[in-house]
């Protein structure tokens, strides 16, 4: 019986816990896309450690790499000292980069969270430019440290903290459905770029010489919003012309999830700095920053962190990256993403309260709306958070774990393991339809 465990947890665990409140399960076992709870019920895991489990739970290739590392008398922990396992991991990361980036890249190991890799990216941009200000985007999510919250959008927790980093300018992110310029489409891309260029040219904006611009090519926590390629190309040009470091946060959308190894590759651009975490450790904690070698001006001790040398995570990460490349998993993620998107579009035609279907590859979302509410400037109905929560619960009852995100938590987010099959995608869709019909 899982009830005593859940009761005890809710008494003992901090109020800041989030997932167990909405997904009150005691998970005991897992394999591939499936997890099993203490009552024996099986669930499809379309959260997958917030996108961390590219190959799903306990993939044999990853397990084998971890077991091999554990039985080889490896040093368990080495700070950032060199080991053969680390060397193999670094080679694998470089082999995963587009050649034009790999030829001139450096890697820095970080404390093992995504947030730490973003902090390191901001510090590197400040150190190389001697400047401090940062451009970031509305709706962004870069982590939960004071620095990363300063450049993120989620206002509730952020405002509760008081002063954060100064010199941060939040800019509009191109959102076709809730367009900040009220137009959507190609016109919005031009308006957005023009707005940013104007800001950078006008001394009165106070932000003419920022150190960096940081963005997610697909906003995840912000509601699964994919940036248009042409916009990313425009930002690459603008930042290059002005000597602003372009930091592309691939922590969630990178590592084959959107149908390319890195999401920036869709736009055929190269970032200056790229923080990576989540899937690169094959499910174990690991984070790095990859950046252009000209930026490598910092000195020993400029960025450290005790757990930079997690050998098991590097072994699991190497096995994951190799598998992804050998089995063309990025292409598979693209195909499965298109299959899932087709199901979501059918769901949208059947249920009027699904306002928007969006995302890229296997990073997809649906915005839940209230057709009876007052439409916005573009004629779209307001979000319906309560219905999104109901839908999440109805899916959970039918054996599907998914998460909510975006403004007001009204976007349903689907982040399945990338090894999901045709039949499993269709099964996810069956559950989505049944859940939608039941609420």
Contacts with ligand PMP by CB under 6 A lie at: 50, 113-115, 118, 141-143, 216, 220-221, 249, 251-252, 277
* Least separation in angstroms between CB 255 and ligand PMP: 12
* Least separation in angstroms between CB 158 and ligand PMP: 14
d(C-alpha 35, C-alpha 42), whole Å = 6
Q: At what angle do helices 84-96 and 311-326 cross, to 10 degrees?
A: 40
Nearer to ligand PMP, 134 or 369 (CB): 134
> Using CB atoms within 10 A of its CB, is residue 329 exposed (0-12), middle (13-18) or buried (19+)?
buried
Nearer to ligand PMP, 53 or 115 (CB): 115
Query: Which of left, alpha, beta for 395 (phi over 0: left; psi -120 to 50: alpha)?
Result: alpha
Torsions phi, psi for 378 (to 5 deg): -95, 0
- Structure tokens of 86? 């680390």
Q: Which residue is nearest to ligand PMP (CB)?
A: 114
Nearer to ligand PMP, 139 or 309 (CB): 139
Q: Measured between alpha carbons, how far is residue 368 from residues 340, 382, 393 in Å?
A: 17, 9, 14
* Least separation in angstroms between CB 421 and ligand PMP: 25
Instruction: Name the β-bridge partners of 288.
Output: 109, 276
Instruction: Centre a 10 Å sphere on the Cβ of residue 103 and count the other Cβ atoms it contains.
Output: 11
Nearer to ligand PMP, 312 or 394 (CB): 312
Nearer to ligand PMP, 249 or 356 (CB): 249
- Our measurement of the distance from residue 83's CA atom to the centroid of its chain's CA atoms, rounded to an integer in Å, reads 29
Query: Which of left, alpha, beta for 102 (phi over 0: left; psi -120 to 50: alpha)?
Result: alpha
Instruction: Centre a 10 Å sphere on the Cβ of residue 437 and count the other Cβ atoms it contains.
Output: 10
Nearer to ligand PMP, 47 or 97 (CB): 47
* Least separation in angstroms between CB 112 and ligand PMP: 8
* Least separation in angstroms between CB 271 and ligand PMP: 13
* Least separation in angstroms between CB 252 and ligand PMP: 3
């Amino acid at each position: 019986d899982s009830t005593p465990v859940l009761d005890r947890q809710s008494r003992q665990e901090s109020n800041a816990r989030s997932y167990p409140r909405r997904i009150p399960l005691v998970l005991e076992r897992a394999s591939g896309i499936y997890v099993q709870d203490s009552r024996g019920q099986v669930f499809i895991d379309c959260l997958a450690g917030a996108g961390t489990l590219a190959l799903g739970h306990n993939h044999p290739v990853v397990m084998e790499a971890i077991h091999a590392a554990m039985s080889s008398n490896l040093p368990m922990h080495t700070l950032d000292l060199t080991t053969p396992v680390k060397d193999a991991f670094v080679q694998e990361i470089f082999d995963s980069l587009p050649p034009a980036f790999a030829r001139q890249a450096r890697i820095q190991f970080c404390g093992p969270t995504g947030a730490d890799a973003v902090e390191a990216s901001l510090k590197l941009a400040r150190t190389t430019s001697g400047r401090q200000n940062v451009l970031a985007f509305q709706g962004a999510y870069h982590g939960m440290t004071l620095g990363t919250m300063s450049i993120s959008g989620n206002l509730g927790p952020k405002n509760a903290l008081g002063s954060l980093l100064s010199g941060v300018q939040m800019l509009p992110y191109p959102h076709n459905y809730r367009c900040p310029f009220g137009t959507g489409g190609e016109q919005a891309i031009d308006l957005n770029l023009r707005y940013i260029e104007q800001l950078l040219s006008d001394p009165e904006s106070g932000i003419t010489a920022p150190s960096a611009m940081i963005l997610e090519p697909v906003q995840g926590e912000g509601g699964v919003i994919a940036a248009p390629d042409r916009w990313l190309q425009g930002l690459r040009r603008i930042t290059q012309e002005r000597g602003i470091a372009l930091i592309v946060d691939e922590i969630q959308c990178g590592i084959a999830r959107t149908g390319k190894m890195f999401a920036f590759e869709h736009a055929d651009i190269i970032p200056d700095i790229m923080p990576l975490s989540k899937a690169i450790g094959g499910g174990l904690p690991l984070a790095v920053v990859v950046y252009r070698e000209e930026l490598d001006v910092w000195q020993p001790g400029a960025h450290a962190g005790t757990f930079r040398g997690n050998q098991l995570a590097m072994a699991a990460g190497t096995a994951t990256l190799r598998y992804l490349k050998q089995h063309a998993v990025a292409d598979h993620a693209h195909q499965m993403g298109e299959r899932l998107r087709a199901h979501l579009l059918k769901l949208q035609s059947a249920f009027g309260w699904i306002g928007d279907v969006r995302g890229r590859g296997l990073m997809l979302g649906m915005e839940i709306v209230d057709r009876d509410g007052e439409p916005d400037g573009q004629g779209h109905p307001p979000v319906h958070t309560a219905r999104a929560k109901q839908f999440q619960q109805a899916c959970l009852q039918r054996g599907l774990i998914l998460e909510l995100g975006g403004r007001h938590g009204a976007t349903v987010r689907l982040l399945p393991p990338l090894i999901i099959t045709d039949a499993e995608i269709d099964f996810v869709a069956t559950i989505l339809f049944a859940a939608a019909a039941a609420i």
